Amino acid sequence: MREMKLPAGHVPVKTGKIGVLLMNLGTPDGTDYWSMRRYLKEFLSDRRVIETSRAIWWPILNLIILQTRPQKKGKDYATIWNTEKDESFLKTITRNQAEKLAAHLAGVSPDIHVEWAMRYGNPAIKPAIERLMAEGCDRILAFSLYPQYAAATTATANDHVFRALMEMRWQPTLRIAPPYHDEPAYISALAQSVRNHLATLDFEPEVILTSFHGMPKEYLLKGDPYHCQCAKTWRLLREELGYSPEQMMMSFQSRFGPDEWLKPYTDETVEALAKRGVKRLAIIAPAFSADCLETLEELDGENRHIFEAHGGEKFTYIPCLNESDLGMKVITTVVERELKGWV
């Protein structure tokens, strides 16, 4: 820690420490109607997520979606809820990632503090930054745990960081960690997670489907780099594992609303594969750093049922890297690289 010599009578000042803020998408506080409604309203009110004109979107959101969707999504969350801690697994995993990162960085420097936050829901980003500042962190690395950059994920998390700083008299020096879609440590960890998982099975998948979270096609046409970064992750992972594009396919999940989204769609691809005669299928979701509703309920639940309902026989979901040793190697690699010059 750098010493700051203060004149006699000066107010106490904490400074000279370094903060690392891990950020993920978000989670409701519970599966009940009002918890889900608060979460969905915050999420679907974000102009980065829904770019439709407010005059059109507000009546749809408030008069239709928020009247019916909280009950449905609450039931979905209940199927994958961490009942022991009464929270979503995304929250549990992100906390574990932060704690393991803090333990690792303690061996690098005692002056590094780690916090974690969610863009939507709790714990919120602004209080996390305030806690780091209270510890004397005048330099902060903000790290969104999205491997591929998208305006609706990385940018909106960064927006919230910037908004918090706008209200501070004494702002910390800020660094934003870049996306890590082609980071060698990330590709290597994904590939090893596939090998490890396949070694536990009593069958060999005919196809491994690499499913990324979707986005409206319009966002791609406006210049969002997400699709290109997903494609690069898919290509690098295939090459690392030695699979052809037919053996390891790419698709996009979680579409919402009537507009065209990035294609091919995961659910339609799963159905088509089963109808084509594929009997053994694996799915991996490299756009997620932690398992959540979209992986546990949508991929391992809904898409498993689609595959089996159309003739598929053997299905497996390959978990996210989460707080595993492989996953933490990716996070520590990125963080240590981005802290160079500070540590």
Q: Could you read off the pLDDT of 294-311 as tens digits, one per residue?
A: 999 999 999 999 999 999
R_g (Cα) of the chain, nearest Å: 21
* Residue 257 pLDDT: 84
- On whether both 106 and 191 belong to a single domain, the answer is no
Q: Is 246 annotated as contributing to ligand binding?
A: no
**Do 247 and 151 belong together in one domain?**
no
Query: By C-alpha distance, which of 89, 92, 63, 91 is closest to 78?
Result: 89
Question: How many Cα atoms are found within 13 Å in the side-chain-facing hemisphere of 282?
Answer: 20
CB atoms within 10 A of CB 122: 14
Per residue in 206-244, pLDDT tens?
A: 999 999 999 999 999 999 999 999 999 999 999 999 999
**pLDDT, position 95:** 98
Q: What is the pTM of this model?
A: 0.93
Question: Over the stretch 240-271, which tens digit does the pLDDT of each residue have?
Answer: 999 999 999 999 999 988 899 999 999 999 99
CATH of the domain at 247: 3.40.50.1400
Question: How many angstroms from the chain centroid is the CA of residue 23?
Answer: 8
Domain that holds residue 132: 17-179+326-338
How much is the pLDDT for 98?
A: 98
Taking the mean position of all CA atoms in its chain, how far away is CA 233? 15
Residue-wise pLDDT for 124-164, tens only, equals 999 999 999 999 999 999 999 999 999 999 999 999 999 99
Claim to verify: residue 190 and residue 102 sit in the same structural domain: no
State the Cα–Cα distance between residues 308 and 204, nearest whole angstrom: 16
pLDDT band of residue 6 (cuts 50, 70, 90) is: low
Task: Tally the residues of the chain.
Answer: 343
Q: Is the pLDDT of residue 11 over 80?
A: no
Would the pLDDT of 12 be above 70? no
What average pLDDT does the chain have?
95
d(C-alpha 42, C-alpha 19), whole Å: 26
pLDDT at position 167: 94
Residue 1 pLDDT class (50, 70, 90 cuts): very low
CA atoms within 13 A on the CB side of 14: 12
- DSSP notation for 76-102: HHHHTEETTTTEEHHHHHHHHHHHHHH
Pair (136, 212) in one structural domain:
no
Note whether 157 and 261 are same-domain residues.
Answer: no
| Cβ contact 185:191 at 8 Å | no
Q: In what order do the strands lie in the sheet with 207-213?
A: 248-253, 207-213, 280-284, 314-318
Whether 262 contacts 269, CB under 8 Å: no
Same structural domain, 37 and 170: yes
Asked whether 15 and 4 are in contact (CB, 8 A), the reply is: yes
For residue 4, being part of any structural domain is answered with no
Q: Looking at residue 188, what is its pLDDT?
A: 98
Q: 154 with 243, same domain?
A: no
Answer yes or no: is 294 a known binding residue. yes
Per the structure, the count of domains in the chain is: 2
Q: Which of 5-9, 100-104, 116-120, 324-328 has the lowest mean pLDDT?
A: 5-9
What SS3 state is found at 200? coil
Across the beta sheet with 17-27, the strand order is 112-121, 17-27, 137-144, 173-176
Please check whether residues 109 and 213 belong to one and the same domain: no
Residues 267-283 have a mean pLDDT of 98
Give the pLDDT band of residue 4 (cuts 50, 70, 90): low
> Is residue 266, in this structure, part of any structural domain at all?
yes
Residue 202 above 60 pLDDT? yes
